[in-house]
Structure 1
Amino acid sequence: MEAVESEPEGVEAAEPGPARSVMLAGEVPGYDWESAREAVRNLGYGVVGRADDSTVLLILGEGGERNGSKLKDAAEFGIPCMDVREPGRFKAAVLSGELSGGDPLPEPAKADWSQMSTRERNRVVRAWARENGWPSLPVQGRVPMNVRHAYELAHSEAPGKTAAA
């Protein structure tokens, strides 16, 4: 007969809490999109596009200040920020096994499309798209219209049609 382990009498098994997750905003210096996320996952965190109850950190990379929705979520939920725009900071954190916040949260930047080249605009849209549900978006070529449209909707000032007076 096999021995069956059970909880001591009067002690209930602890339910596991939600897995900790982080948001990544922008490009991490020295890492491509997938390797940065894989490094975070290897440390035991999930990677989410929008904050939820399990989100414990915002990792801010190059251009992260352009992701207004993640910055807004971080401010609203009181999520600490880890600014990794300085080369080597993310790698040092990964090697130490400790991702920690405490850096100031920047104000969301308004994208001035008139002063950006087409290549820069595509880079901004691609970074946003990868963080918001299009992980297989090609790194080169034309940005699909549905992705560009979703980006524009997400960054529009108007929440909807206004009622006529």
Structure 2
Amino acid sequence: MEHKREVAAEPENQATDETEAASLPSVMVAGEIPGYDWETAREAVRNLGYEVLGRADESTVLLILGEGGERNGTKLRDAAERGIPCMDVRTPGRFKAAVCAGELVGSDPLPEPAKVDRSGLSERERNRLIRAWARDHGYTLPDKGRIPMNARHAYEQSNRDVSQGKAAAA
């Protein structure tokens, strides 16, 4: 008895599609784009003929900087090291205008990466949390300037991880 084996035909244009995808310019997106959710913003970029990458490679031609993008030090360093231009879209409407014009152009300066602690918060965000916590717990603080050490220390003590407390006691 003869066994016949069916072989699926490979699409003729498969190699062309892979070559085409590899030759597309790519962009990195750091942060949230005002007025767009994550997927909609990336789809808009793809519709303009770009791939969206998490890390820069030889095809990367632009960094799109959204809200909070300065916290992504890796993407900012990649862009700086490779000389990739930045398009700062933190101003509402800037990204939409570029999409409508069909052109993503980067000529904005790259910000310095925000200093973040282990929690992923920038110093400014952390200070806001400390101020809010301290006020909720009866501390009187100035709106600007240094946070008094007693308030900062009390915040640190109240938000210490249990495992840290055991290590400190040992």
Shorter-normalised TM range: 0.5 to 0.7
Give deviations 1:10-53, integer Å, cap 9, x for gaps.
Answer: xxxxx766210000000000000110000000001000000000
Partner Cα distance (1:24, 1:116) in 2: 26
Aligned to 1:128: none
Partner Cα distance (2:74, 2:109) in 1: 16
Give deviations 1:99-123, integer Å, cap 9, x for gaps.
Answer: 0001000000012364365xxxxxx
Aligned to 2:83: 78
1:91 aligns with 2:91: no
Q: Which has the higher contact order (CA 8 A, sep 6+)?
A: 1
Gaps of 5+ in 2: 1-18, 116-121, 130-170
1:25 aligns with 2:30: yes
Cα 1:88–1:72 change in 2 (3 A) is same
Q: Structure 1 residue runs of 4+, over 4 Å off?
A: none
Please identify the structure whose Cα radius of gyration is greater: 2
Partner Cα distance (1:98, 1:48) in 2: 18
Aligned counterpart for 2:65 among listed residues 52, 60, 65: 60
More helix per residue: 1 or 2?
Answer: 2
Query: How much identity, in percent, do the aligned residues show?
Result: 74
Gaps of 5+ in 1: 1-14, 118-165
Aligned to 2:127: 115
- TM-score, length-normalised on structure 1? 0.59
- Report the RMSD for the aligned CA atoms in angstroms: 1.8
How far did residue 58 of structure 1 move?
0.2
- TM-score, length-normalised on structure 2? 0.58
